[in-house]
Chain A
């Protein structure tokens, strides 16, 4: 481009001409615009929470886009008005417990579906798949009765009532396990089926039992798949709403030492967050601060395990 044409055509005309002759640059520019737009829309709500949390609550009315004051004390206050750390710890324990059970049981099922052939395989897989189609609400009434000791069976003339699990980890961990196990079974089936038969055969010739081969050869070799299933289950449980809302009355221990005592009704994070809405209805800064604290464990998990999450959803969702 000569300097003469620059003055006669103007920068806009030149820009249009360049973008027609070199469309790749235009696409690149468009790409960055779109990317920035997506980053803005996904991250803005978190920024907004931070603005709310840092603004003292009496200055929060008519708040603009910047904090109106600086009050990091809200992040301490959050734990004082409500035992929020206990709610979070309950949630983390419930998620960890569910993840352990799911991984153990789904490993066995994944091994069966991924590596064995037997009559009825397709039908059984379909039955497991069907579970993930049903809304949790369709399980609610019988499960609630079951977990409150209202279901009895008669065996040999003895009537046995179901154990009272309401307000204990069991009332949440069991439904979570049933809800999230199908996805883990799919993921593990996919990963286990990709292990070459030769490796398992070699272990068997060495004298390892079938189960030994599963736990000492197949599972270690599928470690990425197991990690993926674990991360997805953990996040799903931490995020779950329906049974978390209904299977505990919302009470928690007052101190961290009381967590295994009967006063802890295992109310998860959800109940902690909702308790600000009901008990501290106008303390918007506390609600925002609690939300930020509550999101941290999963946010860290996403940063650490993003590759696993992507590969896991690929395997789990697209391999049916």
Chain B
């Protein structure tokens, strides 16, 4: 089409394909440039997502070479939520037996794989995001000040964020090795952790949360710092002239203006925290601290593709619900 029509843009016609793009309307040109993006996202993200959903509607193929068995509708989801059927039978090891304070832990059925994985993930997400928000806010307030050597303080505070998850995991794996002792012995003597913390579910969950707070507070700090720096400095001058104390300036200016940013940052972090896997797999193991992604991985490794897909898609749905609630609740404030 391009070569035989006379070119309307002079010498440009000789460029062939470039000349052809010149004659497209803006809409056609926009869609043309988006082809590579959606080709990659289509094959690597959208198609697998749909496929995962389809596989989750099929039985596990326990024997033979097929990837999955017959169509069972939503049966896998029912099995997952009730801990019964083939999912329950294959995965019914109670992952967190000693988290239960009594045999009937107030709100968690520890015998059910899914509810224990869900509670592990939620405890991890809520506790780590809460601490990261507070610490990250503190770090952002420090970085927002002017002082000598600020550049290097900023580097020092950002660096944990850039540390690969596997090395972050290795740091805390080494720190809580009973052989080495400098952390484990005193904490054990205080009665806070057992003497082999990395094989105890509660201690490991605690260590994984501490590791996450160490690494990811910096990420929160960066996002909140961005919010702080967009506040109009004139407001502080006016408040100071009006006789407001430093605390009042923080309370009346900084906090309300930076709140939307903090909420967006918390949403980002919550989404990431709900996918936790790498740090658990490095510091301890998926059978000690079974997060939802751990459950997807272990059932996948056992070739229970139907069940694995069901867990994966359920995790995605929970995150989608979380995002939905967040956006509806804070629509006005967060500018989402």
Which A residues form the contact surface with B (CB < 8 A)?
Answer: 23-24, 27, 31, 34-35, 38-39, 41-43, 45-46, 48-49, 52, 60-65, 104-106, 108-109, 111-112, 116-119, 121, 124, 127-128, 131-146, 150, 174-175, 177-178, 181, 185, 207, 209-212, 235, 238-242, 245-246, 269-270, 273-274, 277, 282, 284, 287-288, 290-291, 294-295, 298-299, 301-303, 306, 309-310, 313-314, 317-318, 320
Contacts and interface: CB of A to CB of B under 8 A. Distances in A.
Contacts of A302: 155, 158-159, 162
A124 B26 contact: no
B111 interface: no
**Could you tell me the dominant secondary structure of chain B's interface residues?**
helix
Contacts of A46: 159
B18 A142 contact: no
Nearest to B322: A133
Interface of B: 9-12, 15, 18-19, 21-22, 26-27, 29-31, 33-34, 36-38, 40-41, 43-49, 51-52, 55, 67, 138-139, 142, 145, 147, 151, 153-160, 162-167, 170-175, 177, 179-182, 214, 218-219, 222-223, 225-227, 229, 245-246, 261, 264-265, 268, 271, 274-275, 277-278, 281-282, 292-293, 296-297, 300, 305, 308-309, 311-313, 315-316, 319-320, 323, 336
A320 B223 CA distance: 14
A144 B153 CA distance: 42
- The 6 tightest CB contacts between A and B, nearest first, are A241-B278, A314-B226, A178-B44, A142-B51, A142-B48, A139-B48
Given A178-B45, A309-B222, A241 B165 contact: yes
A245 B226 contact: no
Nearest to A39: B156
Contacts of B156: 39, 42-43
17 contacts: A45-B214, A48-B175, A49-B171, A109-B36, A116-B30, A138-B52, A139-B44, A144-B300, A150-B67, A178-B44, A178-B45, A207-B9, A290-B170, A306-B154, A310-B226, A314-B229, A318-B226
A239 B165 contact: yes
Contact of A303 (B155, B281, B311): B155
Contacts of B218: 42
Contacts of B27: 118-119
A271 B46 CA distance: 28
A286 B86 CA distance: 43
A60 B179 contact: yes
A181 B180 contact: no
B171 A291 contact: yes
